[in-house]
Structure 1
Amino acid sequence: MVYLARRPDRVILSGQYFIHFAVMGIVLPYFNLYCYHIGLTGFQIGAVSALRSAVLVLFSMIWSALADRFLARKPIYILCLFVSTMIWTFYFYSNGFWEIFIITLFYGIFYSPIISFLETFTMELLGEEKKSYGRIRAWGSISFIAVVVFLGKAIDHFSVEIILPLVFVGSLLQTGMSLKIPKTGSSSERPALHQLKRLYTRPVIWFLICSFLMLMSHGAYYGFFSIHLEHMGYSKTFIGAAWALASVSEILVMINSKAIFSKCSIERVLTISFFIAALRWASLIFARSPYFILVSQISHALTYGAFHMGSILYIDSLVPQDFKTVGQAANNAVTYGLGLMAGFLISGSLYENTGSSGLFAASGLIALLGGALFSTHKREKNGFRS
């Protein structure tokens, strides 16, 4: 069924991304800092972080399978947003490790499928305009940058505890706005859960393996890039500027997504992204000049921005209509769940033994392997298309 997104629908979806990533801009950089502030140890903070990743992998798949099976994507999306928002309020009254751990478990159960559902809504609502996905997704990156920059100053002025009410208010706004998400043109027939095997075709499995490797290679960047720069003597201001430049370059690519995917196939964009990532990580082994480091950050436009857009579009084109939500959930779980988790674990071990040079060398090889595998196992021409 052809479904062309109207402008009000685009505004609603853009608003969902804007608020969702604004909340992420609070939680990702500052929640662990909050946990440290209330007295959790490094090991306990690590355990809470690992729990979030594990819950994301498991429950995003469960919720997505239920949504596709019972044709209840929007009701489950609203339910998960509302319940996770209510569970967040328990953080206001808890400061012990086991209390935080249990709240995080139940919060993660309901929060885990949100981004997968949102990606699926966007793909279906855009219909034949899917190449414009980046223009909607860019609003998430814009809010993430703004929140990370300005919240740091606010925390310095007040305290890190302000993140709790801010996340609650943001989540409440996203829940309210979710009621306005229009009904999509999905299938009217309920697929049986045993038909999930239709999702895991050879092209899908190979792509998930390659995506796992790509995000695994990013573990060194997200976990140790700032430490790497600090050890080379760069200031916090320069480190912040380097991260901001990467995010800005990502936004510019997303805004121009329609032009990019009109001129290049999804497969070509993904292939280029893999090999640019390999070059990017390899360059950090030798980069000492601030200009060279900043130039390498611009490549984030391809290694994250273009790759992320390409992966969403690629998975959407590979999976059958009845399992669109599960397809995006599998992509999210394997890449941002398992891939980053493996990347963090391996990077931590390598950094202790080889330092940042060995760490980025390994990351480059991992990205190169992912690109090589993808180049030799691209989608068969008769793959599923929406």
Structure 2
Amino acid sequence: MVAEMRGDLSWYGRLRLWGSVGFIVAVMLGGQVLERYGIVQLPLITCIVMLLVLYASTRLKEAPVDHHEQAVVSVASVLRKKEVIAFFSASCLMVMSHSALYVFYSLYLEKLGYSKSVIGTMWSIGVLAEIIFFFYQAPIFRRIGTRKLMLGSMLIAVLRFILIANVDGGSWGLLVLVIAQILHAATFGVHHSASVMQLQTWFGGNLQARGQALYTSISYGFGGTVGGILMGFCWESGGAHAVFLAAAAMAAIAWLMATFSYRWQQEKRA
């Protein structure tokens, strides 16, 4: 599907937003089904969804690749480049930092005394914010550029996690949580789209699918798993405050690695 865009990935968001819409639909419908029939139905629901995904996948048609548009390059040779290593390190760290949200955010808010409806609302705000960004991202990327947006998203992540780490109960705490969730449009939406665009620098043509697979495996597979484990240690040793401060630190290191990646890319072009 990315190949169909012929190098113009500024409109990628309007494709990606359907994943966010699917998340909302799955949570709403799945919650009602589980509430009515019990958690024992979860494996059945999962199997049905996976079968639908499999069916949809069989209906996709691969875009033809122009094998003459670029020289043949191996994946191994691309992965040995220091700017690529720095990019994947930054992406991995960014996803690791977000493990604090995916694993402990709801527990944290419940511990602060917020109701389940408030917790659900916070998640909905974050997803809606990313959907709005994905829909309007094309002119934003064209005006600001991938590099500035990528680095900016990481700095915003540092701010976001510091805000969450220092929130307390009450109306002011709720306002801070709302602001932090709106920032999800930047820390997830901007970063994800910028990463997909950046991948095209090294993984174009017949390497595109493998580049996407590497990005998903390294960032979300390895990064998400390791991040969840590390955040678990932080939760046990220092509580929620330590978890989100660790997330802010990971985002800061991700910014540093991304800065090195772009600097090395500029040196090669000079």
Counterpart contact for 2:67–2:206, Cα < 8 Å: no
Q: 1:348 to 1:322 in 2, by over 3 A?
A: same
Equivalent position to 2:213, from 296, 314, 329: 329
- Residue in 2 that maps onto 1:236: 116
Counterpart contact for 2:67–2:205, Cα < 8 Å: no
> How far has the Cα of 1:325 moved from its partner?
1.4
- Residue in 1 that maps onto 2:52: 173
Counterpart contact for 2:20–2:127, Cα < 8 Å: yes
Amino acid at match of 2:84: V
> After the TM superposition, which residues 124-143 of structure 1 pair with which residues of structure 2 at under 5 Å, given as runs?
124-143=3-22
Aligned residues: 261
> How far has the Cα of 1:341 moved from its partner?
1.1
- Residue in 2 that maps onto 1:26: none
- Residue in 2 that maps onto 1:296: 180
Amino acid at match of 1:333: S
Counterpart contact for 1:142–1:251, Cα < 8 Å: yes
Is the aligned partner of 1:156 residue 2:35? yes
Is the aligned partner of 1:356 residue 2:240? yes
Any stretches of 5+ residues in structure 1 without a counterpart?
A: 1-121
Counterpart contact for 2:65–2:205, Cα < 8 Å: yes
Amino acid at match of 1:280: R
- Give the secondary structure class of the aligned counterpart of 1:377: helix
Is the aligned partner of 1:281 residue 2:165? no
> How far has the Cα of 1:253 moved from its partner?
0.6
- Give the secondary structure class of the aligned counterpart of 2:6: helix
Cα distance in 2 for partners of 1:199, 1:309 equals: 21
Cα distance in 2 for partners of 1:331, 1:188 equals: 22
Cα distance in 2 for partners of 1:194, 1:313 equals: 19
> How far has the Cα of 1:188 moved from its partner?
4.4
Cα distance in 2 for partners of 1:281, 1:303 equals: 10
Amino acid at match of 1:162: Q
Cα distance in 1 for partners of 2:73, 2:131 equals: 39
- Give the secondary structure class of the aligned counterpart of 1:380: helix
> How far has the Cα of 1:319 moved from its partner?
2.1
TM-score (norm 2): 0.89
Counterpart contact for 2:129–2:184, Cα < 8 Å: yes
Counterpart contact for 2:83–2:260, Cα < 8 Å: no
Q: 1:382 to 1:328 in 2, by over 3 A?
A: farther
Any stretches of 5+ residues in structure 2 without a counterpart?
A: none
Equivalent position to 1:250, from 121, 124, 130: 130
> How far has the Cα of 1:331 moved from its partner?
0.9
Counterpart contact for 1:281–1:360, Cα < 8 Å: yes
Counterpart contact for 1:274–1:368, Cα < 8 Å: yes
Question: Which consecutive segments of 4 or more residues in structure 1 shift more than 6 A?
Answer: none
Q: 1:183 to 1:217 in 2, by over 3 A?
A: closer
Q: 1:213 to 1:382 in 2, by over 3 A?
A: same
Cα distance in 2 for partners of 1:246, 1:317 equals: 29
Equivalent position to 1:309, from 168, 193, 202: 193
> How far has the Cα of 1:381 moved from its partner?
4.7
Equivalent position to 2:151, from 247, 254, 271: 271
TM-score (norm 1): 0.63
Counterpart contact for 1:123–1:316, Cα < 8 Å: no
Counterpart contact for 1:271–1:374, Cα < 8 Å: yes
Counterpart contact for 2:134–2:189, Cα < 8 Å: yes
> How far has the Cα of 1:264 moved from its partner?
1.6
Superimposed CA distance per residue, residues 214-267 of structure 1 (whole angstroms, 9 cap, x where no aligned partner) = 111111111111111111100011011101110000101111121121112111
Identity %: 25
- Residue in 2 that maps onto 1:261: 141
Q: 1:194 to 1:299 in 2, by over 3 A?
A: closer
Higher relative contact order (CA 8 A, sep 6+): 2
